[in-house]
Amino acid sequence: MKETQESKQQKNTEPTAEDLASPLFNAIWNAIKGWDIERTHGEGYAAATGTDVKTILNAIEKIKEEEAEKVIEICLHADGGCPVCAREAIGEFCKDFPEFAELANQRYDEEFGD
């Protein structure tokens, strides 16, 4: 059975055991646990849940990735697009942000064909 976009989205908003242990997850939960949230306009309010926290975390991750992509793009055009300079800049970026190393190296390969 094919997974629909909606079911993928639901899966991505269900907190995992790792999420539940995360200090960021718990900080957000402590901030919103007393809130009533209107998830869909006009359909009423309900108490905040872990799914709401996960939705916030997903939004934060998306922002982080978008920002990383901007920095990678800047690195790729270091010193006028010099491949050696770009490789050095990407290397430094990857040291500081290893979670984006795969993306950075993939973009370098796409840009310079290595």
pLDDT of res. 39: 87
- Tokens 């718990």 appear where? 26
Are the C-beta atoms of residues 72 and 102 closer than 8 Å to each other? no
Enter the tokens of residue 68. Answer: 């990383």
pLDDT in tens, the chain (114 residues): 454 544 444 458 899 999 999 999 999 999 999 999 988 899 999 999 999 999 999 998 898 999 999 999 999 998 888 899 999 999 999 998 999 999 999 999 999 985
Are the C-beta atoms of residues 12 and 61 closer than 8 Å to each other? no
What's the total number of domains in the chain? 1
Element (H, E) at 54: helix 50-76
Are the C-beta atoms of residues 68 and 105 closer than 8 Å to each other? no
Range of the domain at 25: 5-112
Enter the tokens of residue 25. Answer: 């997850």
pTM over 0.85: no
